[in-house]
Structure 1
Amino acid sequence: MKAARGSVVTKKGTPWGTIIAVVAVVALLGAVITYYMVKSAPKRDQADREAAAASYAPTAADPDPSKRIPGVVTANYSGSVHVLPSERVAYDKTPPFGGPHDQTWATCTGTVYPNAVRTENMVHSLEHGAVWIAYNPQQITGDALNLLSVRVKGKPYTMMSPYPGLDKPISLQSWGHQLKLDDPNDARIDEFIAALRSNPNGVYPEVGASCDAVPGSFDPDSPPPFDPSKPGPDAKPMDYKGSTGAQTDQNGGMGQQSTGAPAPSTAPTK
């Protein structure tokens, strides 16, 4: 009897509660890690793409590395030629990448616009050193759209928007530079951004100008919409002198009014 009582006292049951709790914690931890890896994959992949494009960063010896990127088209445009919010410009390129533009720039602080934005505001942002990724919303959707968005979200001096009727799936713009592409995986997207975003070597007119939202003039959550119609006979030409009453930038801010002084005409570069 004593032996039997001893065996009952010393024998312990299997701690199923503890085992179940540990298994649940391990499973939860695994799910969290998997979720993180899946969600962070686009950012990690983008970091790799940016590292691969780092050799296109501008230097004093190589002030405009975009000249080494196949397919980049360039043109010379005069800066600080402004129109009023009610006026349109008859641009010479689609999408435009320079020329007269609205007195207020579009917010370009890593902004992904879900809807097309008034072109004249977007062009002003290029004058400040921004890169604008435009895409054809009929051709770029789903994973392709996400792949472009990760290039922009949270990236200073970068913005993105649909551009209805675009003749290529993707078009990149900086002031005086454009690159049209078919594939969102194309490494030239990252090379273009590395070469031209906030390039300090005089490739755009207003080095150091702001990309922040302009309170009371441009709301990035409700921007002026894109006008798909053809500009009418009252649209301002590319050699426009600037509208009386339109403000000009002064150190990146809204400053003096335009005097209407003549602006040199644009000319394509080789």
Structure 2
Amino acid sequence: MPSGSENRGAKNSGAKSAKAIKAANKSAGGAKPKAGIPKQRNIPWLTIGAVVAVLALIGVLAVNLFPKYQDKAEADKFAPSSENKDPSIEIDGVVRNEYPPALHVSATQRVAYDKTPPFGGPHDATWATCTGIVYPNAIRTENAVHSLEHGAVWIAYNPDKVSEDQREALADRVDGKSYMLMSPYPGLDSPISLQSWGHQLKLDDANDPRISQFIAALRLNNFGVYPEVGASCSTIPGAFDPDNPPAFDGSAPGPDAVPMNGEGLAQDQGELGTGGVPGGLPGGMQLPPELQLPPEAPAPAPAG
């Protein structure tokens, strides 16, 4: 018969075995996570994506807008003043010439211009609408030259030498801006040519900074650069239709063309926009009241 000590040993041994089995079962079931270790957090991918998109947009705007602001700031240096009446003198490549004003031809006459495109000299009695019009087709040269006499800048381009991207870049400078017009000019010897009265600049690139400089210096320059300060650029009802303008004629002027000196023409002393009578408009047509300006009227302020 076992003694009491033996019984106690057997019980202790059994208790130890039970504890060992229990511990083994706990180990098999996986250890509980220790306290203090944080659970894995979800990454806010949507928020991160939105932030990245906003930053990318800001970058794109900066890349596209900064050069334009820089270009404008540079062009503003060429704004005319009483101390610097013709800043275009400082623009490389600008050609200048003196022309007598107010020499008008009829709608059927041609002028033997000395420059291509011309930027002064005799011209049609009716100006081409120059209220920021981008003409899709070439227009009659004699009408465009009259617009220059009123302080406008005319951008002409060779449609065979200017890409669509370049054409759109030029159009952005003109569309909707007063005292500006733009049209193709077939046969032009350079891709782009800018004209104001007595001034011309020929260029190869629509992004050339000299374009902005030329416009800043000469568009509505009221310091004697163009003849008819205060003259209108609006459409003359019944005389010029910007939706169907007189067609361009690229052929050589014939022997009956009016010479550059205006021989045979009388200077029109009653030019439009200076309070005079519009002698030379078809049939003695008068400007409508809303387009007439009183004598000594100040030039319209540049817009756009």
TM-score (norm 1): 0.77
1:184 has 2:184 as partner:
no
Could you list the per-position Cα deviations for residues 133-158 of structure 1 after superposition, in whole angstroms to 9, with x for gaps in the alignment? Answer: 00000011211111111111111111
State the distance in 1 between where 2:124 and 2:74 align: 36
Query: Which stretch shifts more, 156-165 or 43-52?
Result: 43-52
Higher RCO by CA contacts (8 Å cutoff, separation 6 or greater) = 1
1:221 alignment counterpart? 243
Cα contact 2:103–2:266 (8 A) shared by 1: no
| Partner residue of 1:207 out of 229, 240, 261 | 229
1:65 paired residue number: 87
**AA matched with 1:106:** A
Is contact 2:104-2:267 (8 Å) kept? no
Structure 1 alignment gaps of length 5 or more:
1-22, 259-270
| Post-superposition offset of 1:49 | 2.4
Matched, 1:150 2:172: yes
Larger strand percent: 1
Q: CA deviation at 1:233?
A: 0.6
**Is the contact made by 2:101 and 2:267 (CA closer than 8 Å) also made in structure 1?**
no
* Alpha-carbon distance in 2 for matches of 1:253, 1:113: 29
Secondary structure in 1 aligned to 2:277? strand
For residues 210-235 of structure 1, the C-alpha deviation after alignment (integer angstroms, 9 at most, x for no partner) is 00011000011110010011111110
Among 176, 187, 206, which residue is 1:165 paired with? Answer: 187
Q: Distance in 2 between matches of 1:164 and 1:101?
A: 19
Of 100, 122, 125, which aligns to 2:147? 125
Contact between 1:115 and 1:161, CA under 8 Å: does it hold in 2?
A: yes
User: Cα gap change, 1:78/1:203 in structure 2, threshold over 3 Å: closer, same or farther?
Assistant: same
Structure-2 separation of matches of 1:192 and 1:255:
32
- Choose from 52, 77, 95 the match for 1:55: 77
Are 1:89 and 1:235, in contact at CA under 8 Å, matched by a contact in 2? yes
CA distance in 2, matches of 1:45, 1:117: 32
The residue matched to 1:151 in structure 2 has which SS? Answer: helix
| Structure 2 gaps, min length 5 | 1-45, 281-304
- Over alpha carbons, which structure has the higher Rg? 2
Distance 1:47 1:93, change over 3 A: same
Distance 1:226 1:44, change over 3 A: farther
2:255 partner letter: P
Counterpart CA distance in 1 for 2:264 and 2:279 is 10
* Equivalent AA in structure 2 for residue 165 of structure 1: G
Aligned-partner residue type, residue 200 of structure 1: N
Q: Which residue of 2 is the match for residue 20 of structure 1?
A: none
- Residue by residue over 1:47-87, the C-alpha shift from the partner in whole angstroms, topping out at 9 and shown as x without a partner, is 54223210000000000000000100000001000000010
The offset of 1:256, in angstroms, is: 4.5
Deviations 1:139-181 (A, max 9, x none): 1121111111111111111110000000000000000000001
The 5 A counterparts of 1:227-242 are 227-241=249-263
Runs of 4+ aligned structure 1 residues displaced above 3 Å come to 41-48, 241-248
Matches within 5 A, 1:105-116: 105-116=127-138
Q: RMSD value over aligned CA atoms?
A: 2.8
CA 1:248–1:184: 2 relative to 1, 3 Å: same
Q: Which amino acid aligns with 1:54?
A: D
Distance 2:139 2:207 in 1: 24
Q: Aligned in 2, Cα 1:130/1:162: closer, same or farther, shift over 3 Å?
A: same
Q: Percent identity?
A: 59
What is the Cα deviation at residue 255 of structure 1?
2.5
Return the alpha-carbon distance in structure 2 between the equivalents of residues 68 and 245 of structure 1.
Answer: 32
Match of 1:175 among 186, 190, 197: 197
* Secondary structure of 1:184's aligned partner: coil
Counterpart Cα distance in 2 of 1:246 and 1:163 = 28
> Is the CA contact (8 Å cut-off) linking 1:245 and 1:257 kept in structure 2?
no
